Amino acid sequence: MEMAIFLSALLLGIYSVVTSPTPLSPRQVVCVKRDACTCDMSDGSGRVSLHSLARPEEPYELDSNSFRFLYSPCTAMKNVKQECQEDTSVCLEGREEDFGYNFGRASDPEFITDKNGNVTVKYTSEVGNKTRTAKVQLVCDPSVTERPLVMFKGMTETAMNWTFTTVCACPGARNPRPIRCDVQCDSN
């Protein structure tokens, strides 16, 4: 009899393990787009806003010998060459040669969030039969309250990658005092 009770309990235990639903993984945090410059974290931790970093007249610039890599969050650049004159947030220009390639429209970025809650802004441009994309990984650093740290990470003919380190990439609501993103940037 004890053996029958033991086997029944064992089978019942095995049955419940096999039929129990697998626990769901915690829901991934996403940054829900509000406008071309702002998204809200779905976990309620706050808002990521790049509005104070918009520089259409003087985009963030990285130089190489032959090229200029330009980035203007939120608003289309001004005073740029060729393709980049049309609704452009990310541009590649020739330093000596007269060309400009639009790597992303300012009006319709996508906010992508990785499994750790880090936000990347993806810009897309379609010119003729070419689709180009630029991904700007936002890096939260509460100590970077002046000019953001901009790093070019590489490119192919149709894709470009950057990192953009700033307090403005921090949602901030989880801190005892909310982080304000009022970055003042020198034009130098």
Q: What is the DSSP letter of 14?
A: H
pLDDT at position 83: 85
Q: What CA–CA distance (Å, rounded) separates 171 from 66? A: 37
pLDDT at position 182: 54
Nearest alpha carbon to residue 162 among 67, 88, 62? 62
Q: What CA–CA distance (Å, rounded) separates 179 from 145? A: 10
Q: Is a pLDDT exceeding 50 seen at residue 188?
A: no
Nearest alpha carbon to residue 72 among 82, 61, 62, 64? 61
Spell 34-47 as b/e; 16+ CB within 10 A means b. Answer: eebbbbbbebebbb
Q: Is a pLDDT exceeding 80 seen at residue 142?
A: yes
Q: Measured in whole angstroms, how far is the alpha carbon of residue 141 from the centre of its chain?
A: 14
Q: What CA–CA distance (Å, rounded) separates 32 from 123? A: 16
Domain boundaries along the sequence of the chain? 29-169
Q: What is the DSSP letter of 171?
A: -
pLDDT tens by residue, 155-183:
899 999 989 998 889 886 333 344 455 54
> Of the ranges 25-34, 85-94, 179-188, which one carries the lowest mean pLDDT score?
179-188
Q: How many CB atoms lie within 10 A of CB 128?
A: 6
Q: Which amino acid is at 4?
A: A
Nearest alpha carbon to residue 73 among 39, 47, 49, 100? 49
pLDDT tens by residue, 68-114:
888 999 889 998 888 888 899 999 888 888 888 899 999 999 999 99
Q: Between β-strands 38-41 and 60-63, what pairing exists: parallel, antiparallel or unpaired?
A: unpaired
Phi, psi (deg, nearest 5) at residue 83: -55, -30
Q: Which amino acid is at 69?
A: F
Q: What CA–CA distance (Å, rounded) separates 72 from 22? A: 45
pTM: 0.76
Q: Is a pLDDT exceeding 80 seen at residue 61?
A: yes
Mean pLDDT computed over 111-132 = 92
For the chain, percent of residues with pLDDT exceeding 70: 77
Mean pLDDT computed over 116-126 = 93
**Paired strand residues for 61:** 70
The two tokens of residue 108 are: 């319709």
CATH superfamily name and code, 29-169: Mannose-6-phosphate receptor binding domain (2.70.130.10)
